[in-house]
Amino acid sequence: MATTNIELDIENITGVSDANDQFIISAQKFVVSSVPKNLLHFAQKASSSSTDGSAISFSVNDSIIDVQRNGYSCREISMSEAIWALDSTSLKYATAKHPVWYHKQGGVHFAPVTDGSNAGYVFYVDYSLIDDNSDLRNAVVYHAASSEFSKLGSSELPTISITSVAPSTPSLPSISSSGVASVTIDSLPSAPDYVTPTSTISGMYWATEYPSSEVDVNTALSSITTNIDLANSILDLTPVLPDTPSIETVSYSGPSSDLDASSPTFTTSTVASSSVYTGSAPTYSKANRTSQTAFSGYTSGLSETDPGTFSISAIAPVQPDVPDFTLSITTSLPTYSSPTVGGVSESLTATMDADSSGYGTDADFLNFSKWFSVAGEFIEDEEDSELAAVQLNKISAYVSTYSQAMQDKLNSFNTELQKYQAELQKELQESQYTQQSEQQAQLQVYQAEVGAYSADVNREVQEYQQKLAQYNNELNISFQSWSKTESDNISAYQADVANELNEYNKELSLYQTAVQESMQNIQVANQVNIAQAQADLQVSISNEDRSLQRQLQNAVNEMQQAMNDNNSKIQKYQAESAVFSSEVNLMIQQSQGYLQTAQGYASEVQSKLQVTQTKIQEYSSKVEDALNVFNEGNAVYQASIQRSIQQAQISIQEAMKEGDLTLQADIQDYTLELQKYQLDISSYQSDVQAQIQEYQSKIQKQQAYAVESKKYYDWSQMEISSYIKNNSKMIQLSVASQAQQQQR
């Protein structure tokens, strides 16, 4: 059937250009499997007929509403009972008015078999009829939107990999001249490489841990669907209403002989009489819900758009020819060390440690490696979401403490590094007095160009950050406005539903009161008529002889017997109605039990999602720690290069004193090569930082998609629950009204 509007709603909500048709079909099947079949008669279809004893091909039994043979409903039996249903000598033999059906090898078989005069049909729920015109269309839209967001989130799930290549270390020249001894430049250390972490802080392998968490969530979601199907299977088995009893008319006739006395006559009031209440039962009016507005409608008027990937347009200055010189530096570089928390030297938790003996000892409270296994014990084994939430909060507090300790270590390292740089700058200033004016002028020009280049880079970075901040701010405001609007619409819809339900309950109460009042009036009228008839009978008895008294007594006895028989039938019908009500209530209680189990699995899904968020935070901390190690190595490497440059410059001074111009040229060439290498290292560091920022941005985007996916899945469940609740109440009230009318 038509799903054009459903596709448009999905595209407006998720922003995809073309909604996935398979997601829509899966959503339609999900809705059909979640709603009791007796509430989906509007989506009913009939199969092709069987008129020659052949089976009807039909492999999906859970969508069958009814199977009929020549208009008579067939009762389902197991395949093993089929041989008895077809045996005319068996007590289980199926007849034309009491046919049966069974499933065998992908087909529906009939007993008795069908023929030209007794055609067989299968009536089933067609999921494609949950379309644009269905009351359940929003459930289809929300479920398909949830699948679209899950797909978008999966495509955004990044794997960090540094593609930038560290520049090659320049080869060490052998500089010598006839007048000056050979100058040997100290060996440069290897450029630091960024090492991508492969595990979380807890020691879990990231490439397999995140997919396994997703499998756990999908398993719980599958359990939710299973319990909802079990609840629906109970509600599908509607008990049979008791048959309405046939009430015998109570009448009285006197003797036919010529007597002075006349026989009394009286009338019996009925519910259909014009003197009693004849109003109709009230009806429930469904509230109208405001249509969903896509989030993209709130972002079309932003003053700032997504600035995109950051890039530097400024051009680095050309490096001048600067001679090498030797510089002796006595100050040692500071080193960065990972923090420790609580006196434990491991980085958070080195490995996951499962404790088979329990988790309640005092030592376990201080063993950080066991905290995650304790959280898993609460979630997987004890299924205690409250204790699991408390344990996860404790882990989050520990991670926060570790992050603060790491920041403190970084601050200490930066302080020592600044001291080192200050002392290095002092020694550099002291060595610069030996440089010639021409070389110093070249360096000053180059430094000015570098300063201008640095200013351009900082300006571009600030412009990009300002645009990004403005875009994020406007996007957050638009999201808050959209969320508030949708929340208000849902609240208004819930208020309308409650108001309609209250109005319906008020009218139903008035209707039931009027019916009870009419029943009381009928009983009083009947009692008055019977009393009057008995009084008239006593007058006739007093005027007649014993024979007449015997005839009159017989007539009264017959009338009393008819009344007693009617009362017995009414009492039996009331008892059967009570049994029917008990069966209905038991079915509702059983289905509610399955729904409560499904709610428990929903809580488990929430707990597992919290654990997954914690693992992502752990991995992000691991990435940040790896970046700090890289920055430490890079700082050491930069300082080594500066030292080599200063050493080369000192060598130039010595060469100039000796007058060896050839040696100075060689030293200048090597100095230029070292400076170019230093710029390449800076560019490499910038590329690493940009790629890490891009990875973190994708992680945040994937988390946002996961939140949206869960929200729309919950909305789909709410739509289905609301539909089942509203229609189930209407069916129960209709059944009760029919039973009450039959009792009259």
Share of the chain above pLDDT 90, in %: 11
- Mean pLDDT within 604-618: 69
- Residue 684 in domain: no
Confidence check: pLDDT of 181 > 60:
no
Per-residue pLDDT at 350 = 54
Per-residue pLDDT at 657 = 64
- Residue 93 in domain: yes
Nearest-angstrom CA–CA distance, 367 and 362: 9
φ, ψ of residue 346 in degrees (nearest 5): -75, 155
Residues 201 and 622 sit within 8 Å (Cβ to Cβ): yes
Which residue among 97, 118, 139 closes a domain? 118
- Residue 99 in domain: yes
3-class secondary-structure state, position 252: coil
Whole-number Cα distances in Å, 45 to 129, 134, 238, 301, 476: 9, 15, 20, 47, 48
Provide the token pair at 74. Answer: 């067939």
Confidence check: pLDDT of 195 > 80:
no
Confidence check: pLDDT of 64 > 60:
yes
Higher per-residue confidence, 707 vs 269: 707
- Mean pLDDT within 460-481: 76
Condensed to tens digits (0 to 9), the pLDDT of residues 708-718 reads 888 899 998 89
Number of domains in the chain: 2
Is residue 72 very low, low, confident or very high in pLDDT (cuts 50, 70, 90)?
very high
Nearest-angstrom CA–CA distance, 642 and 328: 11
Condensed to tens digits (0 to 9), the pLDDT of residues 654-709 reads 665 665 566 667 777 778 877 787 788 888 778 877 777 777 787 788 788 888 88
Per-residue pLDDT at 274 = 42
- Residue 402 in domain: yes
Residues 610 and 392 sit within 8 Å (Cβ to Cβ): yes
φ, ψ of residue 200 in degrees (nearest 5): -80, 180
Higher per-residue confidence, 648 vs 341: 648
Q: Which residues contact 469 (CB under 8 A, 6 or more apart)?
A: none
Which residue among 65, 98, 118 closes a domain? 118
- Mean pLDDT within 53-73: 84
Integer-rounded Cα radius of gyration of the chain: 44
Per-residue pLDDT at 33 = 86
- Mean pLDDT within 19-43: 88
- Residue 62 in domain: yes
Higher per-residue confidence, 37 vs 430: 37
Provide the token pair at 418. Answer: 């600044």
Classify residue 6 as exposed, middle or buried by CB count within 10 Å of its CB (0-12, 13-18, 19+).
buried
In the chain, the amino acid numbered 166 is A
Is residue 275 very low, low, confident or very high in pLDDT (cuts 50, 70, 90)?
very low
Share of the chain above pLDDT 70, in %: 66
Confidence check: pLDDT of 449 > 50:
yes
**Mapped to the 3 state alphabet, what secondary structure does 492-548 carry?**
HHHHHHHHHHHHHHHHHHHHHHHHHHHHHHHHHHHHHHHHHHHHHHHHHHHHCCHHH
Q: How far is CA 473 from the centre of its chain?
A: 26
Is residue 200 very low, low, confident or very high in pLDDT (cuts 50, 70, 90)?
low
- Mean pLDDT within 395-406: 80
Q: What is the mean pLDDT of the chain?
A: 75
Confidence check: pLDDT of 331 > 70:
no
- Residue 377 in domain: yes
Whole-number Cα distances in Å, 344 to 338, 402, 617: 11, 11, 21
Which residue among 386, 419, 452 closes a domain? 419
Q: Which residues contact 76 (CB under 8 A, 6 or more apart)?
A: 67, 100, 101, 102, 103
Condensed to tens digits (0 to 9), the pLDDT of residues 411-424 reads 888 888 777 777 77
Residues 673 and 170 sit within 8 Å (Cβ to Cβ): yes
Q: What is the pTM of this model?
A: 0.37
For 105, the domain range is 50-118
- Residue 42 in domain: no
φ, ψ of residue 103 in degrees (nearest 5): -100, 130
> Of 366-380, 536-550, 588-602, 707-721, which range is least confident?
536-550
> Of 24-33, 301-310, 348-357, 396-405, which range is least confident?
348-357
Q: Which residues pair with 174 in a beta bridge?
A: 184
- Mean pLDDT within 47-76: 87
For the beta carbon of residue 429, count every other beta carbon within 10 angstroms. 9
Confidence check: pLDDT of 326 > 60:
no
